[in-house]
Amino acid sequence: MGPVIIGTNRRTSAEVTRLLNLGAVVSVSRRHVAVLYSRIEFVTISFHWSSYSLHVQGNAIDEMAGIDLKQGKSKPGDFDAVRKDIEALLHQPDYDDGSAGPVLVRLAWHSAGTYDTATDTGGSNGAGMRYEAEGGDPSNAGLQHARVFLEPLKAAHPWITYADLWTLGGVVAIAALGGPSIAWLPGRTDYVDDSKLPPRGRLPDGAKGAAHLRTVFGRMGFGDQEIVALSGAHNLGRCHGERSGFEGAWVANPTRFSNSYFKLMVGVEWREKRLANGTTQFVHVDEDLEEELMMLPSDLALRNDEGFRPWVELYARDRERFFEDFAKAFAKLLELGIKRDKEGRVVNSDNVKGGYHSAPKKSDRPGKPDDAGDGEAEPLREENKKFRARL
């Protein structure tokens, strides 16, 4: 069989050709298809970044991901090796603003933000987004990018659970992008089926206001101050029309963790804008950068609400205080639903009964296989179909 082709657009044609010549796993993107079509024997091509599958074949994955992985070298429990590899994968020149960090932060948050204190369900234990029931929640649209970014690490450190990897990804990304260092403990397990997943719809809706935020975050056990601090993560990353309907970044430098989000929220004018897709958001045109920045209705709800506003103002003027409060709240978020003994060992029943159960690496094929429950979510398959149709 010839080389296995995997979609990625991070390489020049010359690099791809060199990899092909190595006879190993190589990557192909729309850019490269023309170059490669004549040369391949077996192809698994997905034409959209979000869905490419990583195929591990010997050490070729190091080449593929373009990062210096310590494949096969880390011993179970060597979380520092994983941290280093997460740092190494953050630089992604052809993705969004050049960093995988923001979407990793969102993956960590959405993996944990389903927690419900009343029923003790949801949360980061279990890595439920591996299953369609949770991964296919429209709120999670786009997070397949983050999961795919982390697949080479799962291949390189197969002992780590997805639940630990996804949460650690967020923590490492925040620190690497200039944010605070956040306490993180391992021990989460991967559920073996989807029977314990929370219902969809627990994550917040950017089109809604203060009452909604208090309901959603109150369910997780967060108060006003923590809601505002956590929302400060919108210093990072951007909205994507095809994922959430909203468009654009909150700040001019969305790969640098700072308190700019709060400064802008109270410091400049925001005007309502209706996008072509019918979504309403708020925008501010930065004259110097000639760039349009955005706020979600839920972001501006923080500025407009009596209980939230003092925290917004505090974080706008006191960056250190924001970093401190954010670090505490984010650490708490990732621990929701995780019970530990005095030594820090997780004592949730699944973890005690099943041990540190690390799910096998996800399928190398893009899309959700019809007969398997561990593939990507339905919206992604639809998205892929659309991309193929355009070619």
- 220 makes contact with ligand HEM (CB under 6 A): no
Rg of the chain over Cα atoms, rounded to whole angstroms, equals: 21
Q: Of the candidates 109, 257, 311, 322, which one interacts with ligand HEM according to CB under 6 A?
A: 109
Q: Of the candidates 130, 147, 188, 238, which one interacts with ligand HEM according to CB under 6 A?
A: 238
Task: Please provide the DSSP assignment of 76-125 as one string.
Answer: TT-HHHHHHHHHHH-B-TTSTTTBSHHHHHHHHHHHHTT-BTTTTB-SST
Task: Report d(CA 177, CA 166) in Å as an integer.
Answer: 17
Q: How far is the CB of 145 from ligand HEM (least distance, A)?
A: 7
Q: How far is the CB of 319 from ligand HEM (least distance, A)?
A: 17
For helices 162-176 and 319-335, give the axis angle rounded to 10 degrees: 180
Q: Cα 178 to the chain's mean position, in Å?
A: 17
**What amino acid positions are annotated as catalytic residues?**
110, 250
- 230 makes contact with ligand HEM (CB under 6 A): yes
> Which residues from 87-106 bind ligand HEM, rule CB under 6 A?
102-103, 105-106
HSE-up (13 A, CA, CB side) for residue 307: 10
Using the minimum distance from each CB to ligand HEM, give the nearer residue, 167 or 231.
231
Q: Of the candidates 111, 255, 298, 351, which one interacts with ligand HEM according to CB under 6 A?
A: 298
- 147 makes contact with ligand HEM (CB under 6 A): no
- 240 makes contact with ligand HEM (CB under 6 A): yes
- 239 makes contact with ligand HEM (CB under 6 A): yes
Q: Are 137 and 203 spatial neighbours (Cβ–Cβ below 8 Å)?
A: yes
Residue 209, CA distances (Å) to 213, 235, 305, 381 in order = 6, 19, 9, 32
> Which residues from 114-143 bind ligand HEM, rule CB under 6 A?
142
Instruction: From 279, 318, 294, 291, select the one nearest 237 (Cα to Cα).
Output: 294
- 257 makes contact with ligand HEM (CB under 6 A): no
- 346 makes contact with ligand HEM (CB under 6 A): no
Kindly state the DSSP code that residue 38 receives in the 8-state scheme. G
Q: In the numeric block, which tokens belong to residue 148?
A: 């795919």
> CB under 6 A: which stretch of 11-19, 156-164, 227-235, 255-263 binds ligand HEM?
227-235
List of residues contacting ligand HEM (CB under 6 A): 102-103, 105-106, 109, 142, 204-206, 213, 230-231, 233-234, 236-240, 243-244, 246, 296, 298, 330
